[in-house]
Structure 1
Amino acid sequence: MSFSNLLMKSGVNGGLRSTQTAALGLLNVSSRQGHTLRGKPPGVARTLEQRLRDDNVTDPEIVARVNIGFPQLKPSRSAQLKLRLEHLKAQRASKELEKLARSNKLVIDLDKVQEAYVQTTGQHDLRLLADHYGIFEHLFGSAYFVPRVPLSIQYELDANLLSPVYNGNVIKPSEAIKAPLVSFDGQLDPITGKSAEGDSYWTLLLTNPDAHYTNPAAECLHWFISNIPNDKIGEGEVLAEYLPPFPPKGVGYQRMVFVLYKQVSRLDLSKHKLDAKDHISLEKRTFSTLDFYRQHQDELTPAGLAFYQSNWDESLTKFYHNVLQIKEPVYEYDFPKPYLADQKFFPLKQPFNLYMDKHRDIKQVNKEYLERKLAKTHPFNGPEPPLRFPSAHPIKDVPSWLATEIRKRRLGTGRVQDY
């Protein structure tokens, strides 16, 4: 027996092969296409998300969210399955539905579909959308609630046209000048979801968490009605008259949030009432939903929610001057100055004229371009007609940067096209 056969028989050679295979595997991990990986290989090293989560450790008891709304009493799973089975049996036993379906004449009532959606999962979806838009965070802090009472809010544009408030849609200030039409089921029990006996009182608030400019943590109160009997908005006590949205030019979209509270009884909220002279005072309309709820959390429970977005339009110019009696604010973004490295004596691979213009006053550069354009523009006949074939005319005996500049002028490209 040879020495190599003895090694194979004893398993030494197999051990060497496994060690060699492991070394090759390690080499493949640490080197890919000639590039050596630095640090731990993928799968072992922590991702950026894991590193940020480990660096920003939070106490779950402190950041835990609190549900301040009404609970929902759901029927048992067996009762739900029983109702669903009975519904399916009734649908399958209907010969008229089968006949319409086979003849492609079955029409689905979308109003009933919408009503079923609102009563089942619609309000849970509204809560998720409100979380997405940061409404609960900016109004109630770490608290939230599931809207149990559906709110129907519509702005009347004309006699035959209404603009509904629907899950953060955009409504222009010119469309929201008048107070909206609000309706809800005032006899609905938020817990059981059934009609209750006796009178109930409600409070409706409309706030804008983005409209206060001196205090970013505060809100602007746009509408406040308390002691609404059942669903009769017109019979409620108006504590703050309706004020249309007024997002200034340049700030983007602002959120307008309706919150409906259910009262335990008729309440005295006269301390929040605004006088008639304070109707257009924005400082007097400073409001905090969180502080208001903390003061009356034993007497009020949030039950309904609706919101939309609004941005600037031309109608707000007159609104600022005539209604609010202030100057119209306009916001512009202040761009930082571009970074310029120290000037070099001989820059490589850069156009000479463009490099020199970077270190000059931009107003002077714009003035030179404008004077150059006006020098070739006749006061009555207008500018000179462009060349029919600009690329066919040769450019000789000039530096390369100037040849490029002349070519751009002929073609109307580059910075020259702005003038």
Structure 2
Amino acid sequence: MSFSNLLMKSCLNQGIHGSRVPSVLYTGTRQGHTIRGKPPGVARTLEQRLREETLTDPEVVARVNIGFPHLKEPRSAQLKMRLEHLKAQRTSKELEKLARSNKLTIDLEKVQQVYVKTTGHHDLRLMADHYGIFEHLYGSAFFVPRVPLNINYVLDAGERLAPVYNGNVIKPVEAAKAPQVAFNGVLDPITGQEATSDTFWTLVATNPDAHYTNDSSSECLHWLIANIPNGKVSDGQVLAEYLPPFPPRGVGYQRMVFVLYKQQARLDLGSYQIAAGDYSNLEKRIWSTLDFYRSHQEQLTPAGLAFYQTNWDESLSQFYHDVLKCKEPVYEYDFPKPYLADQKFFPLKQPFNLYMDKHRDQKRLNKEYLERKLAQTHPFDGPDTPLRYPNAHPIGSEVPSWLKTEIRKQRLRTGRVQDY
């Protein structure tokens, strides 16, 4: 049944005839944004209610899970195991003795292992949704990372490591070299049991925020290793050598995303090979995770995920000139001037001096504040000795309230003058 017929049938059922059929869906603009739905202060029309019912079909708007399922024991068995563990802990005299003597310690590595096995992968999926990872890589699809990825950047000749957590910040100078990647490639992501034959994996590292073409959905391919046998990354087929992140100055933070795919068998991905001479050719590194997955979704299944954020630092100036062979781009924000209302002759409930400062030249105002601070600072002895009890000294009653506040700030050495 068409929408018009459905609307007329509903109107007849509710006793609405002829000219009493509600108006069409309201559309207006406010502050440059289009308003859809009911207008402010007006009840929803019948047609609006019918459109909402037809446009919120759960089968249409539901997201698709493209990852591995998880086989787990029944809830009754899990509860029984937890109760047995709790009973064993409570009846342990050794634990009670250590707790009473403040000598009971907790193995944080075991805690981390239990967390990863229980709720860690679900939390990672929620954080990836928060950062828009799935939306910008797979559109309406998502997956639960069943295989934990352990990625670390080596710093200071191997003495320190910069681990990749769930959205932490790693500077480009720290990510200049390829990281160490480790995962358990022997366990089956579904059952958690060891595989009876060889397993193969593919690791892809992309930047969804680096758009070097007019297509805003394109990504930059930073690393591609295919046919990793049994989790040994060093034995995999490197199709694209590691390219460090290089976010331009002024664009803020960019995301670096590592996705681990499990293969059913060895794959011929030679078409994605980037030659050594094209290492710094950004046109060759244009990438689309969604297109890659659609082309090989019968043989590849996403199983692991890790990501971090990065922004510009001083090391990228040399990287642009020496590696990318191009001029370093610099972007600046164009902020609109703040709105300033017309000056009033008697400003109410506002400090008089601060109100007047709003309508003065900022450069001249900054100069006066700096001169006022330097006048109270000796070139060799430093600033004057502060008063022992600043608020104990009286201020004359003839002094206006705004000036009293300014005097108290000067005595306490607070306020805007301390910014210079």
Scaled by the length of structure 2, the TM-score of the pair is: 0.69
In the other structure, the counterpart of 1:98 is 92
Q: 2:84 and 2:292 mapped to 1: Cα distance? A: 46
SS state at 2:259 partner = strand
Per-residue CA shift, 1:26-54, capped at 9, x if unaligned?
A: xxxxxxxxxxxxxxxxxxx9999x98x97
Residues 146 and 303 of structure 1 are in contact (CA less than 8 Å); yes or no, is this contact kept in structure 2?
yes
1:1-400 alignment runs, 5 A limit: 57=52, 58-59=55-56, 60-89=58-87, 91-92=88-89, 98-104=92-98, 105-157=103-155, 158-214=157-213, 215-338=215-338
Deviation (angstroms), 1:86? 4.0
Q: In structure 1, what is the Cα distance between the partners aligned to 2:40 and 2:122?
A: 33
Cα drift, residue 366 of structure 1: 10
Q: Against the structure 1 CA distance between its residues 415 and 156, is the aligned structure 2 distance closer, same or farther, given a 3 Å change threshold?
A: closer
Give runs of ≥4 in structure 1 deviating > 6 Å: 45-48, 53-56, 340-344, 346-350, 354-367, 413-419
Distance 1:359 1:92 in 2: 70
Structure-1 separation of matches of 2:417 and 2:272? 60
Distance 2:362 2:105 in 1: 67
Secondary structure of residue in 2 paired with 1:175: coil
- Matched AA of 2:135: E
Look up the SS of the partner of 2:151 in the other structure. Answer: strand
Distance 1:239-1:363 versus aligned 2 partners, 3 A rule: same
CA change 1:73–1:335 in 2 (3 A) is same
Distance 1:195 1:140 in 2: 29
Q: CA deviation at 1:309?
A: 1.0
1:338 & 1:185 partners in 2: Cα distance? 55
Report the residue type matching 2:79 in the other structure: L
How far the C-alpha of 1:235 sits from its partner, in A, is 1.1
Conservation of the 8 A alpha-carbon contact between 1:155 and 1:179: yes
**C-alpha displacement of 1:332:** 1.2
Compare CA radii of gyration and give the structure with the larger one: 1
Q: Measured at CA, do residues 362 and 273 of structure 1 come closer, stay the same or move farther in structure 2, by a change above 3 Å?
A: same
Deviation string 1:234-281 (CA, Å, 9 cap, x unpaired) is 111111110111112222211111100001110011111112122112
Q: 1:337 to 1:188 in 2, by over 3 A?
A: same
Q: Is the 8 A contact 2:254 2:311 kept in 1?
A: yes
For residue 338 of structure 1, report the CA deviation from its aligned partner: 4.9
- Indicate the SS of the match to 2:173: helix
The SS at the match of 2:309 is strand
Look up the equivalent residue of 2:70 and give its one-letter code: Q
| RMSD, aligned CA | 4.6
> For the Cα contact (< 8 Å) 2:260–2:304, is it kept in 1?
yes
1:417 shift after superposition: 10
Whether the aligned pair in 2 keeps the contact of 1:153 and 1:180 (CA below 8 Å) is yes
Identity %: 67
Are the structure 2 counterparts of residues 54 and 110 from structure 1 closer, same or farther at C-alpha, using a change threshold of 3 Å? farther
Alpha-carbon distance in 2 for matches of 1:145, 1:284:
28
Give the superposition deviation at 1:143.
0.3
Q: C-alpha deviations, 1:141-187, integer Å up to 9, x for none?
A: 11000011111111111322111111111111111111111111111
Instruction: Note closer, same or farther for the CA distance 1:274–1:360 as it changes in structure 2 (3 Å cut).
Output: same
Q: Is the 8 A contact 1:223 1:242 kept in 2?
A: yes
Q: What is the DSSP-based 3-state SS (H/G/I as helix, E as strand, rest coil) of the residue aligned with 1:324? A: coil
What CA deviation, in whole Å up to 9, does each residue of 1:7-31 have, x standing for no partner?
A: xxxxxxxxxxxxxxxxxxxxxxxxx
Q: CA 1:348–1:69 in 2, change beyond 3 Å: closer, same or farther?
A: closer
Corresponding pairs, count: 360
Tell me the SS of whatever aligns to 1:317: helix
Query: In structure 2, what residue type is equivalent to 1:102?
Result: E
Task: Return the letter of the residue paired with 1:283.
Answer: E
Write the distance in 1 (CA, Å) between the matches of 2:49 and 2:320. 49
Change beyond 3 A, Cα 1:239–1:82: same
TM normalised by structure 1 equals: 0.69
Closer, same or farther: CA 192–356 of 1 in aligned 2, 3 Å: closer
CA contact (8 A) 2:212 2:282 kept: no
CA contact (8 A) 1:155 1:163 kept: yes
- C-alpha contact 1:100 1:106 (8 A) present in aligned 2: no
Distance 1:113 1:343 in 2: 62
Q: CA–CA distance in 2 between the matches of 1:160 and 1:303?
A: 31
Cα distance, 1:79 vs. partner? 2.5
1:365-403 CA distance string (max 9 Å, x none): 999x9xx99xx9xxxx9xxx99xxxxxxxxxxxxxxxx9
State the 1:81 CA deviation: 3.0
Give the Cα separation in 2 of the matches to 1:362 and 1:87. Answer: 68
Compared with structure 1, are the counterparts of its residues 226 and 339 closer, same or farther at alpha carbon in structure 2 (3 Å cutoff)?
Answer: same
Deviation at residue 230 of structure 1 after TM alignment: 0.9
Give distance in 2, aligned partners of 1:364 and 1:162.
49
